[in-house]
Structure 1
Amino acid sequence: MKILVLANFGMGLYNFRKELLKELIKHNNEVYISLPNDDEYVPKLKNLGSKFVETHLDRRGTNPIKDLKLLLNYIKILTRIKPDVVLTYTIKPNVYGGLACRITKTPYITNITGLGTSIENKGIIQKITLRLYKAGLKKASCIFFQNETNLKFFCEKNMVNSKARVVPGSGVNLNHHPLEEYPSENESNNFLFIGRMMKDKGIEELLKAAKIVKEKYFNTQFDLIGGCEEDYYQQLAELNKSGIINYHSQQNDVHSFIKNSHATILPSYHEGTANVLLESASSGRPVLASRVPGCIETFDEDVSGLGFEVRNVDSLVEAIIKFINLPYSQKKAMGIAGRKKMEKEYDRRIVINAYLEEINNLVGRNEYEFIRENC
């Protein structure tokens, strides 16, 4: 069987979905990956056994001519490969890949990885995006949502005409992110942020909060990891030089940073399900996150993490200081509680089995057995 995967970014595909790809490849399927040619993760995905299809895609652009070219390119790819099923992730592959599948009458399964800025911000862009999304989702065999709030939003907008189900984000590989020993009580409080340096990730609130906290708690450390997608280079450099933060840019290995941290902070404005929170909790680290869908589900308040109000520096500062002043034993216990939550609710096998079940339904036979061992 031929399976085509449409995505816009190799890093997410490799880091969060390689176990699904490996499972599909293990069953002697031809798995094709559609990505831009300059994506650094293409060689890694090919090494898994997948076949690469070059696709020109502007992840954040809104040029209608380029988007029309993307649609035509997808139709060309589908016509050439003739896949039995297509898996789509993120907005543009979901929309234009879905439209291409409708035109070519190809079965497809869509994953709503989050609403995104174009939908979160009300206005003409939101209206256009919703219309396109509705067209792209119309004939999907199944639509996976990563939280109940996103599913409810799409239903209220009358955008769900297909089977829909909620999965726990991308899940977390419990073996790749094992429970780590908690850092020593005598060390400073090390907070970790992992994500793109952009407004919607709450980077502005985090930088302001770091300044305030460092004035009172000198032994507190803020480590930031991630590529800079918006114009924060100068600000990051200045704060790094002054010792307010430690900016490490993009890193291939985030687990070592998680291991050395006392807690992870994510002040994001919106998420599907925040992978960084899953990986941190799986490693036994408490999480501090904004109370928005995609974050609030990943921790239990005062048990495995602390929440704060989104876009609110004062609330973020309050949560950070509250955590700093917690007894060491309670911080450690929060990390262990987070690990247990991941084992029970967010094991990546849950997501993989959901895909295998839907593909089984599409092909009309039990092509795949559910996986029961850890990934």
Structure 2
Amino acid sequence: MKKILILANNSIGLYNFRFELIKELINQKYEVYFSVPEQLDDEKVQLIIKAGAQHIETYINRRGINPFEDWKLIKDYKKIIKEVNPDLILTYTIKPNIYGTYAAKTTDVPVIMNITGIGTSLTNSKLKKIVINLYKYACKKAKFVFFQNKSNYNLFISNNMVNPNKTIVLPGSGVNTNRFMPVSKIKRDEKVRFLFIGRLMKEKGIEEYLGVADTLSKKYKNIEFQILGPIEEEKYKVNMLNNKNKQIKYLGVSNDVRNEIREVDCIVNPSHHEGMSNVLLESAAMGKPLIASNIPGCKEIIDDGQNGYLFEVKSAKSLKKTLIQFIELDKNDKENMGKKARIKVEDEFDRSLVINEYTKVINYIIKGGKNELI
């Protein structure tokens, strides 16, 4: 039985966005191993194990830049590759992409890399040159590279970081349109509820969201701004604890975001950068209108004025104007936006499209593809 090793930086993302792929690989008689930092008793780890995959716990500091930690991660990956002896390695996110490929270089095990987003490390970070060089090396060694949006692809091509003949641009991670479906609200009142879903950190646009929420809640008494997600930066913990505005509600974290998405009227994603926004894809699949920054990873999902609105990234003024525009729509227009959001996701972003591309490339490589995929 052929073995596939997956290197990822957390179990939640692996389960939420790759679970169907893992199940399909197991159905195709591959032996699947997955490396994540979470322990055996983690809920998502257990769900992946029950599907038939084998768990490997590997410490990884997702945002850290300690070279000693990163060198240890490379050594851990080398050890895992030696012990598992996989026929193919799949990597996701920057550290598994770069260090996993580096660890695999002496073994001749082919690597399929997925550029899930570029983050600040390739935009305005002091590490930009270093990261570009690291990615150049990794992409050269990788057998195949998937991108989640055209903008990220163009960045890599323009910087000569990857050979275009071994790349494909996917529709993000796709969305399971059978799991995320339109459902009726339980609460029924006249309030207009907005929902921010994501890690509470500056790069996700939480400052713009909170600032505009505070301003608009003074003008409109029938609106509510909800926040769902883990607190990544300490200052936002203080902000949430000291919040006195009853129209701004921190919901904590959720085991199933469908419960929170169901009860709101619109999803707001003010992120500064995205690979392809899974929050928008899942919410659109549930028939919710979308409001998001006009950036790669969001603008592909939103047809401005049709299934939602785009606003200028990092601009509280632009976000405020766009939220007012939505608030003042009549009920039918809001509902039609949601219906169009669902239709677009079904047509362009169903997860089956992603799984088909992955299995095609995986089977090609394992069954003897020598050069580029034709």
| Deviation readout 1:164-215 (Å, 9 max, x if unpaired) | 1100001000011112347888520000111000010000110001001101
Matched, 1:165 2:168: yes
Which residue of structure 1 lines up, in the alignment, with residue 346 of structure 2?
Answer: 343
Map 1:197-236 → 2, pairs under 5 A: 197-231=200-234, 232-236=236-240
Matched, 1:61 2:64: yes
Which residue of structure 1 lines up, in the alignment, with residue 19 of structure 2?
Answer: 18
- Are the counterparts in 2 of residues 182 and 284 from structure 1 also a CA contact under 8 Å? no
Matched, 1:328 2:340: no
Which residue of structure 2 lines up, in the alignment, with residue 289 of structure 1?
Answer: 292
- Are the counterparts in 2 of residues 145 and 166 from structure 1 also a CA contact under 8 Å? yes
1:242 to partner: Cα distance: 2.7
- SS, match of residue 141 in structure 2: coil
Matched, 1:110 2:108: no
Looking at structure 1, the residues matched to 364 and 30 of structure 2 have their Cα atoms a distance apart, in angstroms, of 16
Q: 1:331 to 1:191 in 2, by over 3 A?
A: same
1:44 to partner: Cα distance: 2.0
Pairing partner for 1:136 from 135, 138, 161: 138
1:73 to partner: Cα distance: 1.1
Looking at structure 2, the residues matched to 263 and 35 of structure 1 have their Cα atoms a distance apart, in angstroms, of 33
Which residue of structure 1 lines up, in the alignment, with residue 372 of structure 2?
Answer: none
Map 1:256-295 → 2, pairs under 5 A: 256-295=259-298
- SS, match of residue 362 in structure 1: helix
1:48 to partner: Cα distance: 1.6
1:37 to partner: Cα distance: 3.8
- SS, match of residue 300 in structure 2: helix
Looking at structure 1, the residues matched to 96 and 105 of structure 2 have their Cα atoms a distance apart, in angstroms, of 13
Looking at structure 2, the residues matched to 318 and 212 of structure 1 have their Cα atoms a distance apart, in angstroms, of 12
1:149 to partner: Cα distance: 0.4
1:38 to partner: Cα distance: 3.6
Looking at structure 1, the residues matched to 185 and 318 of structure 2 have their Cα atoms a distance apart, in angstroms, of 26
Matched, 1:47 2:50: yes
1:103 to partner: Cα distance: 2.3
Which residue of structure 2 lines up, in the alignment, with residue 362 of structure 1?
Answer: 365
- Are the counterparts in 1 of residues 214 and 245 from structure 2 also a CA contact under 8 Å? no
Which residue of structure 1 lines up, in the alignment, with residue 8 of structure 2?
Answer: 7
- Are the counterparts in 1 of residues 11 and 45 from structure 2 also a CA contact under 8 Å? yes
1:28 to partner: Cα distance: 2.2
Identity of aligned residues (%): 46
Deviates more, 1:31-40 or 1:213-222: 31-40
Q: 1:312 to 1:84 in 2, by over 3 A?
A: same
Dislocated runs of 4+, deviation >3 Å: 181-186
1:121 to partner: Cα distance: 1.7
Kindly report the root-mean-square deviation, in angstroms, between the aligned alpha carbons of the 2 structures.
Answer: 1.6
Looking at structure 2, the residues matched to 137 and 100 of structure 1 have their Cα atoms a distance apart, in angstroms, of 13
- Are the counterparts in 1 of residues 187 and 263 from structure 2 also a CA contact under 8 Å? no
Looking at structure 2, the residues matched to 225 and 104 of structure 1 have their Cα atoms a distance apart, in angstroms, of 43
- Are the counterparts in 2 of residues 75 and 104 from structure 1 also a CA contact under 8 Å? no
- SS, match of residue 287 in structure 2: coil
Looking at structure 2, the residues matched to 127 and 195 of structure 1 have their Cα atoms a distance apart, in angstroms, of 28
Looking at structure 2, the residues matched to 237 and 122 of structure 1 have their Cα atoms a distance apart, in angstroms, of 31
- SS, match of residue 79 in structure 2: helix
Which residue of structure 2 lines up, in the alignment, with residue 126 of structure 1?
Answer: 128
Q: If the length of structure 2 is used for normalisation, what is the TM-score?
A: 0.94
Which residue of structure 2 lines up, in the alignment, with residue 369 of structure 1?
Answer: none
Q: Tell me which amino acid in the other structure corresponds to 2:159.
A: K
- SS, match of residue 264 in structure 1: strand
Q: Tell me which amino acid in the other structure corresponds to 2:123.
A: E
Looking at structure 2, the residues matched to 117 and 255 of structure 1 have their Cα atoms a distance apart, in angstroms, of 29
Unaligned runs of 5+ residues in structure 2 are: 370-374
1:146 to partner: Cα distance: 0.5
Pairing partner for 1:196 from 189, 194, 199: 199
Q: Tell me which amino acid in the other structure corresponds to 1:233.
A: K
- SS, match of residue 296 in structure 1: coil
Matched, 1:31 2:32: yes
Looking at structure 1, the residues matched to 190 and 10 of structure 2 have their Cα atoms a distance apart, in angstroms, of 37
Q: 1:273 to 1:330 in 2, by over 3 A?
A: same
Deviates more, 1:322-331 or 1:183-192: 183-192
Unaligned runs of 5+ residues in structure 1 are: 367-375
- SS, match of residue 105 in structure 1: coil
Q: Tell me which amino acid in the other structure corresponds to 1:128.
A: I
- Are the counterparts in 2 of residues 185 and 328 from structure 1 also a CA contact under 8 Å? no
- Are the counterparts in 1 of residues 227 and 251 from structure 2 also a CA contact under 8 Å? yes
Looking at structure 2, the residues matched to 64 and 186 of structure 1 have their Cα atoms a distance apart, in angstroms, of 53
How many pairs were matched up? 364
